[in-house]
């Protein structure tokens, strides 16, 4: 078997998440289908650096693939893209060593959550960012970001039923930045915000729950003290709703 490390960018709107499922359309399922056609074999394997949820996007999802044919890495991305739908693209491919694993070899990941409270959003923005109506105290939300930094128990920030050995995660960086019409999304909103978080690992829906808590903070529904308490004590109720998936992007995996 030949092993490659590929980097994949995708718009997750019409997919039921990254991980392959028997009947639903998934990113990994489409990748596997392309690999089977390319190698003319059913004997293909793939694993991703993270299992993004339905509707979530990735700018640089990293995967390990194994195929029973030897293809120059320079040609692999082009060959795969000719067989993939237009909302999935392999943007890089290199030969990988046997011990490379996209999850266990990773040092950290960065997720971005893009949102706006601009009531005049373009109709083209619906699948690519989230609209939170009403006034938001952005400066208070920035203080909330600082509370998330460090090593904490994020048991209040995970999807119910998730089985993990530990809910402790380390957040290396967490910030909220405002961008205006000069930014990438200038055709979608006059101004928008990006919640940027880098950590050594993330629980299922952790970033979306962090974003939901920050929105509650910005609307005055919770306090900074509530946020601090949520990282120390199990709560009966979440501090905010799970933020919608379309604003979330897996931006980068660091090795």
Q: Is the dihedral of CA 161, 164, 166, 171 positive or negative?
A: negative
Tell me the C-alpha distance between 134 and 167, whole Å: 33
Residue 108 has pLDDT above 60, yes or no: yes
What is the model's pLDDT at position 118?
80
The active-site residue, picked from 24, 43, 53, 135, is: 53
Strands (E), 33-87: 45-48, 57-67
Strands 191-199, 108-116: pairing is: antiparallel
Domains assigned to the chain: 2-95 (3.30.70.580), 108-254 (3.30.70.660)
DSSP 124: G
Query: Model pTM?
Result: 0.94
Contact call for residues 106 and 181 (beta carbons, < 8 A): no
Q: Which of 251, 253, 198 is nearest to 56 (CA)?
A: 251
Instruction: Please report the pLDDT score of residue 190 as a whole number.
Output: 77
Position of tokens 């402790």? 168
Query: How many Cβ atoms sit within 10 Å of the Cβ of residue 198?
Result: 19
Arithmetic mean of pLDDT, 23-39: 96
- The first and second tokens of residue 202, run together, are 């993330």
Q: What pLDDT sits at residue 36?
A: 97
- Number of neighbouring beta carbons within 10 Å of residue 165: 5
- Return d(Cα 49, Cα 101) in angstroms, integer: 8
Strands (E), the chain: 2-10, 45-48, 57-67, 88-95, 108-116, 130-131, 150-153, 168-180, 191-199, 248-254
CA dihedral 81, 84, 103, 184 (to 10 degrees): 70
Active-site residue, 153 included: no
172-201: average pLDDT: 84
């Amino acid at each position: 078997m030949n092993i490659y490390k590929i980097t994949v960018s995708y718009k997750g709107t019409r997919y039921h998440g990254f991980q392959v499922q028997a009947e639903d359309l998934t990113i990994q399922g489409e990748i596997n289908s392309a690999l089977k056609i390319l190698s003319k074999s059913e004997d293909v394997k793939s694993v991703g650096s993270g299992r993004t949820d339905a509707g979530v996007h990735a700018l640089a999802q990293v995967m390990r693939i194994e195929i029973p044919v030897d293809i120059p890495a320079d040609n692999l991305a082009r060959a795969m893209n000719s067989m993939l739908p237009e909302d999935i693209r392999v943007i890089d491919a290199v030969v990988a060593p046997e011990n490379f694993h996209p999850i266990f070899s990773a040092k950290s990941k960065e997720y971005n959550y893009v949102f706006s409270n601009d009531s005049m959003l373009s109709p083209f923005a619906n699948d690519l960012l989230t609209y939170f109506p009403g006034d938001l105290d952005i400066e208070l939300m920035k203080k909330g970001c600082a509370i998330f930094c460090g090593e904490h128990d994020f048991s209040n920030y995970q999807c119910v039923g998730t089985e993990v050995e530990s809910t402790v995660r380390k957040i290396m960086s967490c910030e909220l930045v405002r961008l205006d019409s000069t930014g990438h999304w200038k055709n979608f909103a006059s101004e928008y915000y990006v919640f940027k978080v880098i950590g050594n690992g993330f629980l299922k829906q952790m970033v979306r729950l962090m974003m939901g808590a920050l929105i509650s903070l910005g609307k005055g529904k919770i306090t900074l003290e509530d946020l601090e308490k949520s990282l120390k004590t199990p709560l009966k109720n979440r501090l905010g709703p799970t933020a919608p998936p379309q604003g979330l992007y897996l931006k980068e995996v660091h090795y």
